């Protein structure tokens, strides 16, 4: 994971009294990351953390500086939407554009659509989505956010197979679903599942020392399973 350097920007009231300190990571502002002076002390705000009041500013800053790092890949917003923008969820934006929410995330991450983060969630500028929909084109970067992954784990083996799928390719997704159904109906203990990018990434991180992961195409993964089924059938016949 890359180094995340945290800095503060101080904001004062008309009398020059400091009231708010906004957090930046590697010189990029963190929406929702700030400290606010209240009558009870210094209240911290940070994505995925509950608000909490500290007695001193130093304590509040120390708390946020020790907070879990933010995954810039998962939360990246290249073009920040205006504060007065009408914001909608990535799911709603995807429905308006006829694409997946993963592809919307990719478009926000690359600056094709302006957005903001709110408590760790990506929100998108409705007006920009409407303009994009009116153009009659949903072209935009696919990237890893636009992908789904077919995960196949043969029973009693260390090797786990991962195939990347295009989330907007209906034919590919249908074939993957058929593959999943075939494995589930098979008389074996093989595991199979279609997972989104974040879930697949977290799984790989959590089990990197437990299994070997083979990144394959869908076609090669299907061939791998066919060979295994053939071997099992041969063993039963013998």
Question: Taking 70 as the threshold, does the pLDDT of residue 170 lie above it?
Answer: no
Specify whether the CB–CB gap between 78 and 110 falls below 8 A. yes
Residue 1 lies inside a defined structural domain of this protein: no
Residue 51 lies inside a defined structural domain of this protein: yes
Residue 108 lies inside a defined structural domain of this protein: yes
151 and 212 share one domain: yes
Question: Taking 80 as the threshold, does the pLDDT of residue 63 lie above it?
Answer: yes
12 and 66 share one domain: yes
- How does the average pLDDT of the chain come out, rounded? 77
Residue 191 lies inside a defined structural domain of this protein: yes
- What span, in angstroms and rounded, lies between the C-alpha atoms of 152 and 41? 52
Residue 227 lies inside a defined structural domain of this protein: yes
Last residue of a domain, one of 70, 92, 112: 70
Structure tokens at 58: 């130093």
Last residue of a domain, one of 14, 41, 70: 70
pLDDT score at 75: 53
Q: Which domain holds residue 118?
A: 73-134
Instruction: Report the first-to-last Cα separation within the chain, whole angstroms.
Output: 51
Q: Is the pTM of this model over 0.75?
A: no
Residue 139 lies inside a defined structural domain of this protein: no
pLDDT score at 140: 41
pLDDT score at 128: 92
Structure tokens at 228: 């295994």
155 and 118 share one domain: no
Read off the pLDDT of residues 103-158 as tens digits, 9 standing for 90 and up. 787 788 778 899 998 876 889 999 999 988 887 544 443 444 456 788 888 877 77
- What span, in angstroms and rounded, lies between the C-alpha atoms of 144 and 102? 8
192 and 111 share one domain: no
Contacts of residue 208, defined as CB under 8 A and 6 or more positions apart, other chains included, come to none
Low-confidence winner among 63-67, 87-91, 168-172, 222-226 (lowest mean pLDDT): 168-172
55 and 112 share one domain: no
CA triplet 235, 236, 238: central angle to 5 degrees? 65
Q: What is the mean pLDDT of residues 76-80?
A: 81
83 and 54 share one domain: no
163 and 224 share one domain: yes
Low-confidence winner among 66-75, 87-96, 137-146, 198-207 (lowest mean pLDDT): 137-146
> Residues of the chain with pLDDT > 70: what percent?
80
150 and 227 share one domain: yes
* Number of structural domains in the chain: 3
237: enclosing H helix or E strand: helix 218-237
Residue 91 lies inside a defined structural domain of this protein: yes
Last residue of a domain, one of 22, 41, 70: 70
Reported in sequence order, the residue ranges of the chain that DSSP labels E, i.e. its strands, are 6-12, 18-25, 28-38, 41-46, 49-54, 87-89, 115-118, 121-125, 147-153, 159-166, 191-196, 212-216
60 and 78 share one domain: no
Q: What is the mean pLDDT of residues 43-49?
A: 79
125 and 192 share one domain: no
64 and 87 share one domain: no
48 and 128 share one domain: no
Residue 83 binned pLDDT confidence (cut-offs 50, 70, 90): confident
Residue 73 binned pLDDT confidence (cut-offs 50, 70, 90): very low
């Amino acid at each position: 994971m890359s180094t995340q350097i945290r800095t503060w920007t101080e904001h004062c009231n008309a009398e020059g009294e400091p009231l708010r300190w906004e957090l930046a990571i590697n010189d990029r502002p963190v929406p929702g990351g700030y400290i606010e002076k209240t009558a009870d002390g210094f209240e911290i705000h940070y994505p995925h953390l509950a608000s909490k009041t500290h007695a001193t500013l130093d304590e509040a800053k120390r708390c946020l500086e020790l907070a879990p790092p933010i995954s810039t890949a998962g939360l990246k917003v290249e073009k920040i939407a205006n504060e007065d923008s009408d914001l909608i969820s990535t799911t709603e934006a995807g429905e308006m554009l006829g694409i997946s929410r993963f592809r919307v995330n990719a478009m926000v991450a690359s600056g094709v659509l302006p957005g903001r983060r709110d408590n760790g969630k990506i929100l998108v500028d409705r007006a920009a989505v409407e303009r994009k929909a009116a153009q009659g084109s949903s072209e935009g970067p696919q990237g890893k956010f636009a992908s789904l992954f077919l995960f196949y784990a043969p029973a009693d083996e260390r090797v786990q197979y991962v195939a990347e799928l295009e989330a907007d390719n209906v034919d590919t997704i249908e074939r993957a679903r058929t593959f999943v159904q075939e494995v589930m109906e098979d008389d074996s203990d093989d595991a199979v599942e279609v997972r989104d990018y974040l879930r697949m990434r977290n799984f790989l991180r959590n089990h990197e020392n437990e299994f070997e992961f083979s990144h394959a195409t869908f076609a090669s993964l299907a061939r791998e399973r066919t060979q295994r089924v053939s071997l099992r059938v041969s063993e039963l016949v013998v």
